[in-house]
Chains A and B, each alone.
Chain A
Amino acid sequence: MMDGTPPTIEHKDYSDAYIRNILGEVRTIAMVGSSTNWNRPSFFAMKYLQQKGFRIIPVNPTAHGQSILGEPVFKSLADIQDKIDMVDVFRKSEECVAYAEEAVRVGAKVLWLQLGVRNDDAARLAEAAGLRVVMNRCPKIEYARLHGELSWNGINSGVISSKRRKI
């Protein structure tokens, strides 16, 4: 990228505190690349996050005019009137610089690229504008991991605690 500014964090291993703060602060998430297909990851990530109290606004130009899980689908981030805390991208890595620019423009605080999606230029651009960035992760998986639900499938949550977990 752009002006050669190094990323503010190493996008390899995110600390639990970093992820926990993001998921604790954001309430409204614009999901770019939402699917109307009930068996696609973006559909059930949306469903899960809705159940955990997040508002998800789906963005998908080809599904514009339809609604997913009760939310109307927007053509682009720019068309959304409501305040967006986080942009969550279910698209190809190479398209992400454009989404990072849009995320900056709509005033999002966090740019989150899904599992398998990584674009260091997009990350630097967003971070230079003051956004926090997560790449190659899924907010549903991270939420479930930090709340002990992922452990039910034998997944290493990395969480060690002598306190009762909230359910």
Chain B
Amino acid sequence: MSDNKPGFETLSIHAGASPDPVTGARMTPIYQTTSYVFDDVDHAASLFNLQLPGFIYSRLTNPTVSVLEERMATLEGGRGATATASGHAAQIMALFALMSPGDDFVTSNKLYGGSINQFGHAIKKFGWNATFVDPDEPDNFRRAIGPKTKAIFLENLANPGGVVVDLEPVATIAHEAGIPLIVDNTLATPYLCRPIEFGADLIVHSTTKFLSGNGTAVGGVVIDSGKFDWLQNDKFPSLSQPEPGYHGLTFAETFGDLSFTLYSHAVTLRDLGPSQSPFNAWLTLLGIETLPLRIERQVANALVVAQWLENHPAIDWVSHAGLDSSPYRTLARKYLPKGAGAVFTFGLKGGYEAGVKLVEGVELVSHLANIGDTRSLILHPASTTHRQLTEEQLIAAGAGPDVVRLSIGIESVEDVIADLDQALAL
């Protein structure tokens, strides 16, 4: 193509996916293969020493997975991407290049419940610590930054829904402290928001959600903007100092704005091993081709359902940043002009018991722990995904006992409303 910048819809189908150079196969083939032959010993040595691009072993790189990576890097406006086995693995990968034992990061407390667990407990086994702050006041991030703080982490459109974080001032706070801003963009997808344009440095996704879109493949990805200068201070020795695992090669010096992505493949995937399977990458690529169409419809349907719920007598409140009643409406207009997502929460006047009754009473909407599917999904976080959290954490995460989460799909929206209506009447 010419040097004209292709549109998002074009990139969703074409980015990273030229026809196969040997067979001409148009849709990306599934390279269900573990290892790749070397031309000779010198070729092998050049590959192992990162001196030559090429495939060695699919734990590091795979031709199908790399198409997904380039597609996501392109859609987010980043320099490079690294796919992982899950969204949770993507979070560990984003942090792994930045953190050493004894380091910490500051994170929004409005996160997916599984992330609160990962950051609150699991990462302590690596000697890492997370400080949780309320993201509604951006200065809370600044106040929590200490000498060993290596990143700020947040969900820009937060799970279980309705909360929008003011990205730009948080990015400024991170950069003034010489640390990167990591944004989980799972709920918005790059179709609704491209956080790099607002100053984010690293993006993580659970590709399991809207990107694959059909509830078929678990996966994750980390996208690097390529804009953060890892050599500006001594906080990030993995990238700015000689790497003992590669004969003293210094990633940031040798690879410039590719360094985070190459480190993630050559060190993080090599040594931790959470690579994405080629088949899952292929399913996700198939999903991404229709991402703009699906999101457009899901966002429209979700707003209709949210407005209907707001007027339902059994409903106490609805938290959807596209509603005029939302305190996040102004932020949503700025950061999510095409729609405030398809996942949101509402509160039942009948509390915990009413929540249980509703999720058990639906017949079209599916009661399960996922979001971003073509099917509409319902969940009562307090009794499922957020069950491990304390009462205080539940409230902070927007997942109190009365809260129900919806992820609206692409069904006929009147059928979704009819189903919710009958279940609310039970």
Q: Which residues of A contact B (CB under 8 A)?
A: 15-17, 39, 41, 44, 47-48, 51, 115-116, 136, 138, 141, 144, 148-167
Q: Mark B204-236, 1 if CB is under 8 A from A, else 0.
A: 000000000000000000000000000000000
B52, A152: Cβ atoms closer than 8 Å: no
Which residue of A138, A144, A158, A164 contacts B53 across the interface (Cβ within 8 Å)? A144
A152, B63: Cβ atoms closer than 8 Å: yes
B3, A39: Cβ atoms closer than 8 Å: no
B254, A157: Cβ atoms closer than 8 Å: no
A162, B21: Cβ atoms closer than 8 Å: no
B53, A153: Cβ atoms closer than 8 Å: yes
Best-surrounded residue of A116, A150, A154, A155 (most CB of chain B within 10 A): A154
Residues of B contacting A41 in the complex (Cβ-Cβ under 8 angstroms):
253-254
User: Given A44-B49, A149-B54, A150-B258, 10 other A-B contacts at CB below 8 A?
Assistant: A41-B253, A44-B52, A116-B253, A141-B258, A151-B67, A154-B61, A154-B80, A154-B83, A157-B16, A167-B22
Given contacts A39-B49, A44-B51, A162-B18, contact A153 B265 (CB under 8 A): yes
Question: How far apart sit A51 and B52, CA to CA, in the bound complex (Å)?
Answer: 10
Question: How far apart sit A150 and B46, CA to CA, in the bound complex (Å)?
Answer: 15
A160, B78: Cβ atoms closer than 8 Å: no
Best-surrounded residue of A141, A149, A152, A162 (most CB of chain B within 10 A): A152
Closest to B77 in A: A156
Among B77-109, those with CB < 8 Å from A are 78-83
B271 CB-CB contact with A under 8 Å: no
Question: How many Å from the CB of A156 to the closest CB on chain B?
Answer: 4
Given contacts A44-B51, A160-B6, contact A153 B18 (CB under 8 A): no
Which residue of A151, A155, A159 contacts B79 across the interface (Cβ within 8 Å)? A155
B10 CB-CB contact with A under 8 Å: yes
Interface segment, B68-76, B323-331, B357-365, B377-385? B68-76
Q: Mark B31-50, 1 if CB is under 8 A from A, else 0.
A: 00000000000000010010
Residues of A contacting B265 in the complex (Cβ-Cβ under 8 angstroms):
153-154
Question: How many Å from the CB of B54 to the closest CB on chain A?
Answer: 7
B306 CB-CB contact with A under 8 Å: no
B14, A160: Cβ atoms closer than 8 Å: yes
B249, A161: Cβ atoms closer than 8 Å: no
B19 CB-CB contact with A under 8 Å: yes
A152, B66: Cβ atoms closer than 8 Å: yes
Closest to B51 in A: A44
Leading 6 A-B pairs by shortest Cβ distance: A154-B69, A44-B51, A156-B73, A149-B53, A115-B256, A155-B80
Residues of B contacting A39 in the complex (Cβ-Cβ under 8 angstroms):
49, 247-249
Question: How far apart sit A154 and B16, CA to CA, in the bound complex (Å)?
Answer: 9
Given contacts A47-B46, A153-B61, A154-B73, contact A164 B24 (CB under 8 A): yes
Question: How far apart sit A153 and B26, CA to CA, in the bound complex (Å)?
Answer: 21
A152, B18: Cβ atoms closer than 8 Å: no
B6, A155: Cβ atoms closer than 8 Å: no
Question: How many Å from the CB of A127 to the closest CB on chain B?
Answer: 20
Closest to B252 in A: A116
Question: How far apart sit A33 and B284, CA to CA, in the bound complex (Å)?
Answer: 44
Residues of B contacting A153 in the complex (Cβ-Cβ under 8 angstroms):
53, 61, 66, 69, 80, 258, 261-262, 265
B46, A161: Cβ atoms closer than 8 Å: no
A154, B70: Cβ atoms closer than 8 Å: yes
Question: How many Å from the CB of A144 to the closest CB on chain B?
Answer: 5
Question: How far apart sit A158 and B5, CA to CA, in the bound complex (Å)?
Answer: 9
A152, B54: Cβ atoms closer than 8 Å: yes
Question: How far apart sit A156 and B15, CA to CA, in the bound complex (Å)?
Answer: 8
B353 CB-CB contact with A under 8 Å: no
Closest to B60 in A: A153
A163, B18: Cβ atoms closer than 8 Å: yes
Question: How many Å from the CB of A37 to the closest CB on chain B?
Answer: 10
A155, B70: Cβ atoms closer than 8 Å: yes
Which residue of A47, A138, A141, A167 contacts B21 across the interface (Cβ within 8 Å)? A167
Closest to B6 in A: A160
Question: How far apart sit A144 and B249, CA to CA, in the bound complex (Å)?
Answer: 20
Closest to A154 in B: B69
B1 CB-CB contact with A under 8 Å: yes
B315 CB-CB contact with A under 8 Å: no
Question: How far apart sit A39 and B242, CA to CA, in the bound complex (Å)?
Answer: 11
Q: Jot down 11 A-B pairs with beta carbons below 8 A, ordered by A.
A: A39-B49, A39-B249, A115-B256, A152-B54, A155-B258, A159-B18, A160-B1, A160-B14, A164-B18, A165-B21, A167-B21
Residues of B contacting A144 in the complex (Cβ-Cβ under 8 angstroms):
53
Closest to A44 in B: B51
Residues of A contacting B26 in the complex (Cβ-Cβ under 8 angstroms):
162
Residues of A contacting B262 in the complex (Cβ-Cβ under 8 angstroms):
153
Closest to A159 in B: B18
Residues of B contacting A158 in the complex (Cβ-Cβ under 8 angstroms):
74
Residues of A contacting B61 in the complex (Cβ-Cβ under 8 angstroms):
152-154
Given contacts A153-B80, A156-B73, contact A162 B53 (CB under 8 A): no
Closest to A40 in B: B254
A154, B82: Cβ atoms closer than 8 Å: yes
Residues of B contacting A156 in the complex (Cβ-Cβ under 8 angstroms):
15, 70, 73-74, 78-81
Which residue of A138, A154, A165 contacts B81 across the interface (Cβ within 8 Å)? A154
B16, A151: Cβ atoms closer than 8 Å: yes
Question: How far apart sit A167 and B73, CA to CA, in the bound complex (Å)?
Answer: 23
B11 CB-CB contact with A under 8 Å: yes
Residues of A contacting B18 in the complex (Cβ-Cβ under 8 angstroms):
148, 159, 161-165
